[in-house]
Each structure stands twice: as C-alpha cells, then as structure tokens.
Chains A and B, each alone.
Chain A
Amino acid sequence: MKNVKRRGYGMIFLLLLPAFLIILAFYVVPAILTGTMSLTNMDHRLSWNFVGLQNYKQMLQDAILSRVFWNTIVYVFGTLLCFNVTFGLLLALATSYVAERQGERTSMFFRALWLLPRFTPPIVYGVIWLWILDPTRNGLLNGILSLFGKKPVSWISQYPVQVIVLTNGIIGASFGMILFYSAITSISREYNWAAAVDGAGWLQRIRYVTLPLIRWPLMFVTAYQTLSLLTSYEYILIITGGGPFYRTTVWSLYAYNEAFGGYYASYRFGYATALTLVLVLISMVASIIYWRVFRFREMMSEPKIEVV
C-alpha cells in the first residue's frame, strides 16, 4: 500500500516537473533577476551597481508617477467596464440571439468579424487607427467631418483617454464575447422556455436567467482582463506614444519608456525594473481582492454551468 502511494507521488512529481521547470526558467528566475536589478542603477552599460532602495525612494519623488497611476486606473477600469465586459457581453447576447433566429452560421460570421482586430498584427492595427484619428482632413473621422463643413479635430489631444480605451476595448471585447457566448449557449434551454411560459420578455430572461447563470464567466473575465490590461501598453505606444504629455501614459508604458523610450532611449533599467516590480505587487493585490470578493474558491470547487 505504502509503495503504491509512493509511486503515486513519484508519478505526480514527474507529471508536474515540465510545468515546474518552465515556470522556474521563465518566471521565477526572471522575477528574481528583475527584483535584484531594481536595487541597482543599471543603465545601458548593464553593470550591476547596487544602490539599495534608491529607485524606490525616487518613485516617491517622481512628479509624474501619480499622474501615471491615475491614468492606469482610468484606462484599466474604463476599458474593462465599457468594452471587455459590458460590450463583450452585449456582443455575446446579440450573437446568441442571432444564432437562435438566423442560424449559427450568421452568428458565427459576426463573431468572426469581431475577432478580426485580434488577428491583426498590433502595428497594422495601430497604423489603421493613426489614419482614422489623423488630425488633418486626411484622416477618416476628420474626412467625414469635413463633408459637413466642420473643422478637423485633433482627436488624440482632445480625447486622449477615450482614444486609448476605445482602441484597446475593440480588441479586448472579443475575449469576453467568446467566453460569454459559449456560456450562454450552454445554458439549458428549458430555463428559458420555462421563463417564457411564465411570461418573461427577452430582457427579463436576460436579467433573471442568463446573467445569474453566467455569473462565473463574467467574474472570471473581469479579473483576468484586469490583470491583462494592467500590463498592456503596446497599442498606446503605437497610437498616442503616451502623450500628449503623459495623458495616456499608463504604468507599464512608463516603465517601458524609462527603459527604452525617448529620442535617445533612457536605458534606466534599474528604475524601470523597480517600476515593474511595483506593478507586479499591484497585480497581486488586485488578484487577492478578486479572489476574495468574487469567491473564486467556490468556482474552482465544482462546475457552475450545467452542461446539457
């Protein structure tokens, strides 16, 4: 009996080993290196010159950082609430409705359409937006305005936050759409029929049947996308570059710029890694809050969506 148990542990160890090694090599080791690097004033010469907590002290004196912090909050939760969750949900509801009425093929076509931005390479997607938002009449939006005799608008400087929320949200919405759609279609039809028999309209069925049953995917997408948005900056970098004057610089972009940005790249690797480490802490705190508030332990314990 003992032997079998031991062999069982050996098997578990063997099965977990590859994943463990990968995490060790590609997460734990880089994380330790990053943490160590944040205690140096490493620049382009990449020398490990230890300065203690100086980088962290400098963060407290950094006049830009509070602006960057609030930008990050607005960007993450703005994109999350407007697009990644709400708009993703609307798309899922609409396409599942279409699937019911027009057949799965039409519905799939619309979902595929919303996936296009995610398939597009970031640089192409960014350049398309640069053309849409071009501050002169040559841009798509200003071209349309000029048809009505309106003056061109400098979109990025007038609506910087809206621009980064919109451009990221259009990509982000598809993630929620797919998860919510599959959750909605896996809801047993009897619930909806029963509700319909009880006289519930479409909206009421969404409110009282669909939403409660897809509660877990909703919370999962919220938590997962929060973490993913916290570390994303590539579209902002391409479209606004973080400007005008830090209006769209989020934490991760600020760290990137401290390391690689500027006319003559800064290469302040020490400070940049300290910034990213704080971002890791923020993400961890957010994860713990979500774990507690959304009670993810319950979700992990048993399947919550009834599969037909």
Chain B
Amino acid sequence: MRTMKRLTWLAVLAAAALLLGLSVGAAAQEVITIRAWTVGPDTPAFYRAENLVTAGERLNQILEAVGADVRVEVDADFWTDDWDSFRRRVILASEEGNPDVVPDILVSSHLDIPVWASSGWLAPLDDLIAPYWESTYEDFFPHLWESVTFDGKVWGVPQDIEVRMVFYRKDHLRALGWTEEEIADLPRKVEEKEFLLADLVELAKQMRDAGLVEYPIVHRPTSGPDFFQFVVAYGGEYYDPATNKLVIDRAALEDTLAFFANNVKEGLTPDGMTTWPWPPVHRAIAIEGTAGMQITGGMWFWAEWQRDFGITEEELWENLTWTLIPAGNEKGRPNQLGHPLAYMITAPSRHKELSALLITLASSVDLNTRHALEAAKLAIRRSQTAFPRFLESEYLAEAAKLVPHQIFSAGHPASGRYATALHEAVGAVETGALTPAQAVDLIIQRMRQAAGDDLIIK
C-alpha cells in the first residue's frame, strides 16, 4: 500500500515536472512573424498569399523535426481591390519606413520594381537568393529574371507569368460559316501574319452585318499595359532597353489610335468603351455572346469567368478561341504582353534571410502549380511543365503556345504613366474628342512631364 502511494506520488511529480518542462520549453520557443502583402486583384489568384502561409507551415515542420526552438508565423493578406489602392498602401507605408508597418514580403507587378527599388524601399535579392540558386532558382525560365532586374541587380523573385490574347466567340464564327478546321487554324494564321488587324476588323463587320452581336469588338475599359501590344503590332516600339529610355513612336501610335477610332466610327466598338465597368465586358464576351471579340484579353480571365461568373470550362471551350494580337501591317508583328508578378523583400524588413527562405519554399513546383491552375497562369519553372498536375490542364498547355511571342512592359519608372497616357488617348479618340494625331501630341506632353529627358521621340 505504501509502495503504491509512493508510486502515485512519483507519477504525479513526474507529470508535473513534464508539464513544467514543456511549458518552460514552449516559453523558450521563439515565434517570428513574417508579414506579407499580396495583390490579386483577380480573386482566383489567392494562392499568392496562401502559398506563403503553406511555406511557413512546411518550414515549421522541418524546424519541429530537427528540434529547433523557433517557429515562423506567416501573416499574409490578399488584396482584391484595384492596383491603385494596393500601390498607394505600399507607397505610403514604405515612405514611413517603419518595420512594424511595412511588411517583410510584397507580391506585386514587376513594373513596380524600378520605382520602388530606386526609392530605396526594396532589398536587393542577389545575395539573399544565392544559397537556393541551384536547388530552386536555376530552374526558372531565364527570361523572367530580366523582368525583375533593375540597375544590374535582382529585386524580385518571379511569382507568375501569363499571356494576353484576343478572344473570339466561336459560335459567331460558326454562324458566319467557318468550319471547325478553319477556326482551329486561326491561331496559326495570326502567327504567320496571314490574318492581320484589318482582317479582324473585316470579321467584326461581318458579325455586325449578320446581326450576330451588339458589340463586335470590345476591349478593357481601364488603363493597363495591353495597349502597347497594338503599337508593336503596327511595327512600333515603346522602349529602348539600350538607353533605358521610353520611346514615342509617332507613326505606330497614330496607327494604333486610328485603329481604335475607326472601330468606333464603324460601330464595332461602343464609343464609351473606356467608361464601361469590367463586369459587362466579361459578360458580353464570355456569357451572353453579345460581343464578338475581346481584343485585350488575358489568360487569367479563364479562371475569373469560371470562378466569378459561374461558367463551366466546357462552355468556355465550346464558345471561345484565342490568338495572339494580330500584326497591324507588314512592319509589325503578332505579339502578346506578359506581366510577371514578383515576390519582393522590403528594405526595412528585420527578417530578410527568413523571408528569402519562405519565398523559396513558396516557389516549390507543387505550390506554384496549384497557383497556376487556380488562377490560370503559366509556369515559371521548367520542371513545372513536366509536373503531372500541370500537364493535366489542357488550357495552360494551349495558352503556353503563345509564349514565344511575348513582350514585356518597359522597365522604366515612368512606364505605368505611359500606359495611362496611352489609355487616355484611346478614350480621347474613341469619343471623338481628339484626332489620333492630336492624341499623340497629348501623349508626348504627358510623357515629357513624367519622364523628362528619358524620352526618345521618333
């Protein structure tokens, strides 16, 4: 009996010691919080934040397995309002420079890098990612690194990449007498310059005359880099990488603006296209078929249409096909603009090395692939294209065929301003407020203010 009692006491003591020990251990465990601000704004891109959280969980598993007394907590938010407000938030926080306010990691457009890096808000990543180069980053498509390099340094880790395209309603093509073979052949004809922007306009007129559509040609209502695709289609340039100056190519800009102006004159594009909200544009091309073509499409629409508008992928395959932006003339070329997003590490961050490790883990093949599948984005790593789940997506494989014709926005701090000025000019010629030549003058005036001497006018 006495032995029993003694044993019980011993057990209680042992349990207490254990509990005490554990609680002491828990108190000694350090938790480091890494904060990240990520942006959609398209809602299906939520893995930009979630992948960082998963990377944190994976890191904690490793730390636990090796008995380390440190854990990481990832606090990542995902912004679905517009780009403007996201940038405003980053800029105002960065100006303050308080590491308790500025997050450690940012996910934003590669276009932000020249502006944010030159303002001293970002940390150069060359040394931070060097330890993982062979294991992870060497596998990235090399051209993506160009989009995140500024002033000879790497400031971002590519997070995703997409292609832009012209979407066509197949049902209307069929109604005009196109065979399935002819429809399937359209992307090749565009690529080989057998189908030009003038043919696209002709097609739109046929749709209009046959009473198939109300809006034969629609385009994005808001500003964006998409309109540069037409400048290239008309044989122009918008950037000179050799001198890092922006280029105003008068002839190509005028041709581009004349294209948009004439589409309105012919009743192919609504005159108030730049005042439309986004949802009716999506509904017209993807659901209702009241539009014939969306000439500034993006591959991520495929995910948005399914997620936000409730259309099945089968319906999309049945009704839509796509091509590059066709060439506008002999000098021009068919093309599409890619807009890579990138992870960045902020200069005030107290945990730069740890942030770099998390970004590396979030860039693993499986995590980046689930982002690509959910948000309809392309692979950033070579091995992703052989990854079974990636291969299963017919859409991604088909869209990836446009990659060789990819152009990027200019890596210049005033690049976004140029995109805004061009969009403004499109609105001006579509409403008849300015002629294409006057609108080019306005672009020049705007860009002289924004870029100063960093401007080549041809």
Chain A residues with a Cβ under 8 A of chain B? 44-46, 58, 63, 130, 134-139, 151-152, 154, 156-158, 160, 240-241, 243-247, 260-268
CB-based contact B270/A265 at 8 Å = no
Q: Is B295 an interface residue (CB 8 A)?
A: no
In addition to A160-B275, A264-B420, 8 A-B residue pairs with Cβ atoms within 8 Å of each other are A45-B95, A138-B283, A139-B280, A241-B275, A262-B223, A263-B83, A266-B420, A266-B450
Q: Which residue of the partner chain, among B214, B274, B290, B415, contacts A245 with CB atoms under 8 Å?
A: B274
Known: A152-B214, A154-B270. A44 touches B417 (CB 8 A): no
CB-based contact B270/A63 at 8 Å = no
Most buried by A among B224, B277, B442: B277
Chain B hits for A44, CB < 8 A: 91, 95, 115, 119
Q: Which residue of the partner chain, among B84, B277, B280, B415, contacts A265 with CB atoms under 8 Å?
A: B84
Known: A63-B442, A136-B284, A263-B222. A158 touches B91 (CB 8 A): no
CB-based contact A135/B280 at 8 Å = yes
Q: Is B338 an interface residue (CB 8 A)?
A: no
Q: Which residue of the partner chain, among B95, B115, B416, contacts A262 with CB atoms under 8 Å?
A: B416
User: 24 A-B contacts, Cβ less than 8 Å apart?
Assistant: A44-B91, A44-B95, A63-B442, A130-B277, A134-B277, A134-B280, A136-B283, A138-B280, A138-B283, A154-B271, A154-B275, A158-B272, A240-B275, A241-B275, A244-B427, A245-B427, A245-B433, A262-B420, A263-B84, A263-B224, A264-B415, A264-B417, A264-B419, A265-B91
Measured CA separation A109–B240 after assembly (Å): 65
| Min CB–CB distance B238 → chain A (angstroms) | 14
Name the CB-closest residue of A to B116: A44
Chain B hits for A157, CB < 8 A: 270-272, 275, 431
Chain B hits for A130, CB < 8 A: 277
Residues B426-452 near A (CB distance < 8 A): 427-428, 430-431, 433-434, 442, 445, 449-450
Chain B hits for A154, CB < 8 A: 270-272, 275
CB-based contact A58/B271 at 8 Å = no
| Min CB–CB distance B400 → chain A (angstroms) | 26
| Min CB–CB distance B287 → chain A (angstroms) | 10
Measured CA separation A158–B275 after assembly (Å): 11
Known: A157-B431, A243-B427, A244-B274. A263 touches B419 (CB 8 A): yes
Q: Which residue of the partner chain, among B84, B95, B225, contacts A46 with CB atoms under 8 Å?
A: B95
Measured CA separation A241–B415 after assembly (Å): 21
How many residue pairs bridge A and B at CB < 8 Å? 106
CB-based contact B272/A264 at 8 Å = no
Chain A hits for B272, CB < 8 A: 135, 154, 156-158, 243-244
Known: A138-B280, A241-B275. A265 touches B431 (CB 8 A): no
Chain A hits for B428, CB < 8 A: 245
Main SS at interface, chain B? helix
Name the CB-closest residue of A to B438: A63
Name the CB-closest residue of B to A67: B433
CB-based contact B271/A265 at 8 Å = no
Chain B hits for A262, CB < 8 A: 84, 223, 416-417, 420
Q: Which residue of the partner chain, among A137, A138, A260, A264, contacts B416 with CB atoms under 8 Å?
A: A264
Q: Is B111 an interface residue (CB 8 A)?
A: yes
Interface size class of B (residues with CB under 8 A): 35 or more
Q: Is B87 an interface residue (CB 8 A)?
A: yes
| Min CB–CB distance B98 → chain A (angstroms) | 14
Chain B hits for A244, CB < 8 A: 271-272, 274-275, 427, 430-431, 433
Most buried by A among B416, B419, B449: B449
Q: Is B424 an interface residue (CB 8 A)?
A: yes
CB-based contact A136/B424 at 8 Å = no
Residues B88-129 near A (CB distance < 8 A): 88, 91, 95, 111, 115, 119
Contact with A along B358-392 (1 / 0, CB 8 A): 00000000000000000000000000000000000
Chain A hits for B290, CB < 8 A: 136-137
Chain B hits for A135, CB < 8 A: 270, 272, 275-276, 280
CB-based contact A245/B417 at 8 Å = no
Measured CA separation A158–B83 after assembly (Å): 28
Chain B hits for A265, CB < 8 A: 84, 87-88, 91, 416
Name the CB-closest residue of A to B424: A245
CB-based contact B277/A263 at 8 Å = no
Chain A hits for B119, CB < 8 A: 44-45
Chain B hits for A158, CB < 8 A: 271-272
Q: Is B423 an interface residue (CB 8 A)?
A: yes
Name the CB-closest residue of B to A130: B277
Q: Which residue of the partner chain, among B280, B415, B431, contacts A247 with CB atoms under 8 Å?
A: B431
Known: A136-B283, A157-B431. A260 touches B88 (CB 8 A): yes
Measured CA separation A218–B146 after assembly (Å): 64
Chain A hits for B288, CB < 8 A: 136
Measured CA separation A49–B40 after assembly (Å): 34
| Min CB–CB distance B438 → chain A (angstroms) | 9
Q: Which residue of the partner chain, among B84, B277, B449, contacts A261 with CB atoms under 8 Å?
A: B84
Measured CA separation A263–B427 after assembly (Å): 14
Measured CA separation A135–B423 after assembly (Å): 20
Measured CA separation A151–B95 after assembly (Å): 50
Measured CA separation A151–B415 after assembly (Å): 39
Measured CA separation A134–B95 after assembly (Å): 39
| Min CB–CB distance B409 → chain A (angstroms) | 10
| Min CB–CB distance A66 → chain B (angstroms) | 13
| Min CB–CB distance A86 → chain B (angstroms) | 28
| Min CB–CB distance B7 → chain A (angstroms) | 69
CB-based contact A264/B87 at 8 Å = yes
Chain A hits for B224, CB < 8 A: 263
Most buried by B among A45, A151, A156, A157: A157
Most buried by A among B222, B224, B275, B431: B275
Measured CA separation A261–B416 after assembly (Å): 11
